[in-house]
Amino acid sequence: MAEGMSLPSGTILAGGQSRRMGGGDKGLLTIGDRTMLEHVIDRFAPQVGELALNANGDEARFAKFGFPVLADPVAGYAGPLAGVLAGLDWAAGRGVANIVTAAADTPFLPADLVARLLDAAVAQGRQIALARTATGLHPTFGLWPVALRDDLRTALSAGVRKVVDWTDRHGAASAEFPVGEFDPFFNVNTPEDLDSAQDYLELA
C-alpha cells in the first residue's frame, strides 16, 4: 500500500437480484462449511478499516455478521453503482476519505486487493482504481473517493447504471492482478458456478 495512506472502509456489494441463481442471497449459499459471504469477509475485512454490507430488504438476515447493512439510496434496482454510493454515504458520515468495494459472490478475492488498488491510484494519478486480470476488468472491485459521491448521485439520478459509464468520465486507474489456477475474481452466478467454487476451495 502507498506510504502515508490510511486504510479505506470496505463495502461488500450484496444487493444483486441473483436471477441466474433463482433469486435470494447468493452470499448466504454454502461453500465448504461456510457461507460464501463468510469467505469474502475473511479475505476482505483484514484489508480495510471497517466493513459494511450493501443489501436491500430485511436486514435481520445478515445480523449474525455484525456489520452495518446499507440499503441502496436510489429507488428501484440501480445496479452496483447504487451500492457504491451507499458505501460512500456511510463513509462520509464517518469521516473516511475512500472506500473499496468487493462483490459478495466472489469468495476467492485477492488478499492484497486494497493494497494494489491504492498503489495503482497513486502511481497512475487517479482517484478511482478498478481491478483487472487477463480475463478483463472487474468493476465491482474498486477504490472510490468520498469526494465524488454527489457526482455519482447526480449520475444515478440521470439514469447512469453501468459502472464504466461513470468511471470513464473521471478516469480510472487499473490495478493488475495475476491469474493462477483460476481467476481470483471468479464469481458465482449459477448453480454450476457454485459447484466450481467447491472445487476451487481446495486450491485457494
- Per the structure, the count of domains in the chain is 1
Q: Is the pLDDT of residue 201 over 90?
A: no
**Model-level pTM?**
0.92
The tens digit of pLDDT for each residue in 15-63 reads 755 444 445 688 899 999 999 999 999 999 999 999 999 999 899 999 9
Residue 77 inside a domain? The answer is yes
Residue 184: the pLDDT is 94
Q: Is the pLDDT of residue 84 over 60?
A: yes
- Which of 76 and 163 is assigned the larger pLDDT? 163
Tell me what the pLDDT averaged over the chain comes to: 91
Domain with 177, as residue range(s), is 9-201
Backbone angles phi, psi at 193, to 5 degrees: -65, -40
Residue 18: the pLDDT is 47
Q: What is the CATH number of the domain that holds 102?
A: 3.90.550.10
Backbone angles phi, psi at 189, to 5 degrees: -110, -25
Residue 4 inside a domain? The answer is no
Distances (CA, A) of 189 to 41, 117, 145: 19, 25, 28
Residue 5: the pLDDT is 59
Residue 141 inside a domain? The answer is yes
Residue 130 inside a domain? The answer is yes
Q: Is the pLDDT of residue 8 over 60?
A: yes
3-state secondary structure 35-46: EHHHHHHHHHHH
Counting residues of the chain whose pLDDT is more than 90, the rounded percentage is 78
Residue 3 inside a domain? The answer is no
Q: How many helices (H) and strands (E) does the chain have?
A: 6, 9
Residue 16: the pLDDT is 59
Residue 1 inside a domain? The answer is no
Residue 23: the pLDDT is 55
Single out the residue of 176, 167, 79 nearest to residue 126, CA to CA: 167
